[in-house]
Amino acid sequence: MDTGTQPIDLARLDDALFDRLYKGRIEPCFASNEEGRLGAVKQFKQRLLIGGGIVLAIIVLASMFWDLGGGVTLGLMTAVFAGIVAYQPLAKLGHKLKQEYCTAIAQAMGATFKIGAFDPPAFARLKGLRLVPGYARSSFEDLFSGAHKGARYELYEAHLEQRTTDSKGRTRYSTVFRGQLIRMHFPREFLGVTIVRRDAGVFNVFGGGELDGRKLERVRLVASEFEKAFEVWGTDQVEARYLLHPVMMERLIELEKGLHGKRLRCGFENGDLLVAVEGGNLFEPGDLFKPLVDPARARRIINEIAGVVKVMDQVVTAQSARPPTS
């Protein structure tokens, strides 16, 4: 199979497929940016050296005409600013590099990639199903859009912040969610609504109840180990058990680990599987002070995306096993 002409199936990812994808798509991208990386590192060191001299001069002069404590404080503030300025060439290179290799991976999958400036897919439903918390401001990046076995998907990152005001009227923002949001749309609609959440024991606040007028009841899982790890609520007990058999639950756990996240939760509704995973900032190039041409960089990124495709593959399998509706 040629990765340049036929979409790859990351649900079947193995070492041979990875090597073919890396050599054909990603390594050339890394290699073409290596010279730029070396130049950016050189600029970083030069700017840091100049910034260090300025900081030292500020401390000395401020100590002479002010006091040592004030000079050190001003010097530290200048050092932080100098560090930010010094890193800008590397930050610019990292942004360009991520755009290129994520686009290359997406194209190999028959998908597309947008680094920013997009409307978050199905975000209103993620809020409606209580899969993300309330927030005051939001930002989104790194959108992958594609299809697998007739099922479309979108994967992107979200950062949600809540605003608080103290007794003195000072406003601050704190992170309430940072992680990955996923929408998978399947040709065959689900009969009911099923919500899956990590079991937080007595601290779990979901509690079932009603959702848009539909009563959600607790669903007992077949395997006891998953019963301890998750709690499931749904409107259709039979369908929920078809969807959430042990292989599917294993895929969800693998997805959570693959995205380096925690507190995975998801909802099956209409034709969509909506997933929220609290994780880090993924798909990043990593350490730019090291040579770019390294399969380990690409392996990490591809594994993160492959986890999503494997979950989709399992849902398609579960849907095909579901008895047809009358």
pLDDT at residue number 74: 67
Distance of CA 201 to the CA centre of its chain: 26
From CA 205, how far away is CA 195, in angstroms rounded?
A: 13
| Nearest residue to 38 (alpha-carbon basis) of 297, 284, 294, 290 | 290
pLDDT at residue number 307: 76
From CA 183, how far away is CA 272, in angstroms rounded?
A: 7
| Residue whose tokens read 């998908």 | 111
pLDDT at residue number 256: 79
pLDDT at residue number 202: 37
Sequence spans of domains, the chain: 10-108, 112-321
**β-bridge partners, 157:** 141, 180
Q: How far is CA 114 from CA 21, 118, 145, 254, 302, in A?
A: 20, 8, 9, 25, 16
> Nearest-5° angle of CA 268, CA 271, CA 273?
35
End-to-end Cα spacing for the chain? 41
From CA 7, how far away is CA 21, in angstroms rounded?
A: 10
Strand order in the sheet with 137-148: 112-114, 137-148, 151-165, 171-185, 272-278, 262-269, 194-198, 230-234, 214-219, 209-211
pLDDT at residue number 60: 72
Q: What is the pTM of this model?
A: 0.79
Alpha helix segments (H runs only) across the chain: 15-21, 27-32, 34-65, 68-108, 123-128, 224-229, 237-243, 246-258, 295-321
DSSP state of 221: -
From CA 219, how far away is CA 152, in angstroms rounded?
A: 27
Q: What are phi and psi of 79, to 5 degrees?
A: -65, -40
Non-local (6+) Cβ contacts of 201 within 8 A are none
pLDDT at residue number 70: 63
From CA 263, how far away is CA 197, in angstroms rounded?
A: 7
From CA 71, how far away is CA 55, in angstroms rounded?
A: 9
Which residues of the chain are modeled with pLDDT < 50?
Answer: 1-4, 201-205, 326
